[in-house]
Amino acid sequence: MKSELPHDLVRTLLAVVDEGTFDAAAAALHVTPSAVSQRIKALEQRAGRVLLTRTRPVRATESGQVVVRFGRQLARLEDDACTALGLAEDEEEGVEPSSPSWLPIAVNADSLATWFVPALASLARDARVYVDLRREDEAHTTALLRAGEVMAAVTSSPHPVAGCSSRRLGAMVYLPVAAPRFAARWFDGDPALLLPHAPVVCFDRRDELQDAFTRELTGGHSASALRHYVPSSEGFIDAVTAGLGWGLVPHSQAEPRLRRGALVRLLPDRTAEVPLYWQQWRLDSPALAAVAGAVAAEAERALR
């Protein structure tokens, strides 16, 4: 006989994952830590497996992530149903009918700094859909979808996470650029041959864009080990402009500085392109559909 997952127990699991500790979850739920612990144990008994690692902060196990996704999807559907029915969440506290929808979304830093925020402009007119943006590398945003931490993500992977749909948005175009003085010092010759030896700026230690670009040009050599890590899209282009190293900068960010001479292109005929996809839960959710439509429309305008 199929075992059920009681909704109150699932909500408790979500609270523990979101708050990070049993004590914080208890405070959020207005119950005792003992009650939270008992509910989690009861849910694990129902599921027949461990759902949480008792670390600080608490983490969902692989099985726990399945339940977390289920819980968030259930909450999303419940919110949409209440909105459609015009029901208040808590009339005693004066919450208006058709309460706002809250959507956690993962997006990479360069998209966030260029085209993604304008995509959300239409949501401001609605005033019922709000987003919680989680910044993550485009190659790793699907991990947040898989863990149930977000409902949608901008990702470089075309392969949909289980329970999600995937659609191509376009491609971010990057230009290999450097400050004029840096270029004069380090690229007195064929830039394609000199890239592996010149200092380079990378976003963080998971950023492989510069290495992949250099390997493609040189037939196997990565970018130089002389590198700066600048984990901010705006800080990255400022670091390149300041002459710390060369780097691949989104076309829309590089173009104004190229026009005024603050940057120069190292290889005028070469670019790097990162394909981007929109993955989201397969839910019949008006709020999620509204965001997806806005993102797709802006991506069609802004991306290649």
Give the start-to-end residue ranges of the domains of the chain. 172-273
The percent of residues in the chain predicted with pLDDT above 90, rounded, is: 58
Asked whether the predicted pLDDT for residue 83 surpasses 90, the reply is: no
Question: What single letter denotes the amino acid at residue 97?
Answer: P
The pLDDT value recorded for residue 97 is 43
The pLDDT value recorded for residue 274 is 96
- pLDDT, tens only, 126-146: 667 889 999 998 888 998 888
Give the Cα separation of 122 and 71 in Å (integer). Answer: 28
pLDDT class of 76 with cuts at 50, 70, 90: confident
Instruction: Say if residues 129 and 304 touch (Cβ distance below 8 Å).
Output: no
**What H or E segment, with its residue span, contains residue 146?**
helix 141-146
pLDDT class of 3 with cuts at 50, 70, 90: low
Asked whether the predicted pLDDT for residue 201 surpasses 90, the reply is: yes
The percent of residues in the chain predicted with pLDDT above 70, rounded, is: 92
Count Cβ atoms below 10 Å from residue 235 Cβ, excluding itself.
13
pLDDT class of 73 with cuts at 50, 70, 90: confident
Question: What single letter denotes the amino acid at residue 84?
Answer: A
* 103: Cβ contacts below 8 Å, ≥ 6 apart: 129, 130, 131, 132, 151, 152, 287, 288, 291
**Which DSSP category does 163 fall into?**
T
Which residues are registered as beta bridge partners of 175?
Answer: 249
Asked whether the predicted pLDDT for residue 188 surpasses 50, the reply is: yes
- pLDDT, tens only, 261-294: 999 999 999 999 999 999 998 888 888 998 999 9
DSSP result, 231-264: -SHHHHHHHHHTTS-BEEEEHHHHHHHHHTTS-E
The pLDDT value recorded for residue 127 is 60
Give the Cα separation of 104 and 45 in Å (integer). Answer: 29
The pLDDT value recorded for residue 214 is 97
CATH class of 172-273: alpha beta
Between the CA of residue 15 and those of 30, 59, 65, 107, 133, what are the distances in Å?
Answer: 11, 12, 13, 23, 19
